[in-house]
Amino acid sequence: MDAAWYVLLSLLLGFAVGALSVHLLGVAAQRGRRVMAIASEPVPDGIASMVGVLESAGVVLDGSNQVILSSPGAEALDLVEGRHLRVPALVEHARRIWRTGEAETFELAHRRGRIGTGTELQLRVRITPLGNRFLLLLAADRTEEVRLAGVRRDFVANVSHELKTPIGAVAVLAEAIEAASEDPERVRAFSKRMQVEAERLGRMTKEIIDLSRIQADDPLEDAARVPIARVVDVAVDRNRVAADAKRMRIIPRVLDDVEVLGSEELLTTALQNLVANAVQYSPEATHVGVGVRVQDGIVEIAVTDKGVGIAQEDRERVFERFYRVDPARSRVTGGTGLGLSIVKHVAVTHGGEVTLWSRPGQGSTFTLRLPAASHHREETA
């Protein structure tokens, strides 16, 4: 081949290589500009301000799942640590959303705290893309909602179980009466027992209705000034017959000028339950004391008995619904296990609490503590 052809081919090849290089450099520059544009994309307007004022948890993540912004709520739930997410499950969800580009909403069980076992929280989380560079993570704490749902389920289950006993007993006794129709003594015995079960069923139904009503109302929405002396008088009077039947005395010591804010009906129900328990679980020929004092703006109504007392391991649980320290004895006395639950709920909804002191073999003192309606001088009845 002539040397001129070699020169021509070399020139053409060099031109082609040069053109291709220029094209590749142009493509690379264009891609670089796009990457720089994405990298320099700011957090969308208003997102930073919104995240800063969120009561719930809010977090903005970049492409490497680094925390760019976080709300105080995210720190309170212990979701972030510096520029990192503390929860591996959230990181995995974020990676998937980077791949798919689609928002996700999911439930997450998260244990808050780094010392000991911590507290398990139930979170509802939504992660959604913000433009091309960021993800927005929002988390709402549903722990209390989940707990209350569980309480409601347990309550319904407990009610169903507890109502079966007296209803079943009435049915069995009715059959027994029919079978013993020719034996007047057995009929009277069965009838008396049926009356006891019917009264227990009626009492349980009333307390279930009371508890449901108390939980549905807020007594402080339309609060009135309630004289504690009147509450004590009514609660004691409602238990006189039961106390007289056991040759017991109920000794009230009150202050005439003490008042609290709330519902007189609910407070009377709560105190009546405490006095009824004291009478029911105390030996015959003893006494029950009801004392009132005001200290540091807190009204304390203490109901003291000389009963069998409550063991240490049962003292917290006695306020649970349907919990009874001695189920066998409760069946005899007709206890439903709801009275102290009602007391606790009334106390809490009035901004107070109920406390328990007890010593097995010596008796117990339940104290209803409520904010005074106005400041009174410290005095003990």
Q: How high is the pLDDT of residue 56?
A: 77
**pLDDT above 90 for 55:** no
220-381 matches 47-141 in CATH topology: no
Predicted confidence band at 137 (pLDDT cuts at 50, 70, 90)? Answer: very high
pLDDT in tens, 157-193: 666 656 666 777 788 888 888 888 888 888 888 888 8
**pLDDT above 70 for 23:** no
Q: How high is the pLDDT of residue 378?
A: 43
Predicted confidence band at 257 (pLDDT cuts at 50, 70, 90)? Answer: confident
Distances (CA, A) of 336 to 140, 144, 253: 37, 27, 29
Predicted confidence band at 10 (pLDDT cuts at 50, 70, 90)? Answer: low
Predicted confidence band at 293 (pLDDT cuts at 50, 70, 90)? Answer: very high
Fold designation for 142-216? Helix Hairpins (1.10.287)
**pLDDT above 60 for 31:** no
Predicted confidence band at 223 (pLDDT cuts at 50, 70, 90)? Answer: confident
Q: What average pLDDT does the structure give for the chain?
A: 80
Please indicate whether residue 371 or residue 331 has the higher confidence score (pLDDT): 371
**pLDDT above 80 for 366:** yes
User: What percent of the chain has a predicted confidence (pLDDT) above 70?
Assistant: 71
> Dihedral through CA 238, CA 241, CA 244, CA 248, nearest 10?
-30
For 294-313, what is the mean pLDDT? 90
Domain boundaries in the chain?
1-38, 47-141, 142-216, 220-381
CATH node for 220-381: 3.30.565.10
CATH node for 47-141: 3.30.450.20
89: left (phi over 0), alpha (psi -120 to 50) or beta: alpha
353: Cα within 13 Å, side-chain hemisphere: 4
**pLDDT above 80 for 327:** no
Closest CA to 354 of 311, 301, 306, 310: 301
Tell me whether strands 119-130 and 134-141 are parallel, antiparallel or unpaired.
Answer: antiparallel
**pLDDT above 50 for 126:** yes
Predicted confidence band at 89 (pLDDT cuts at 50, 70, 90)? Answer: very high
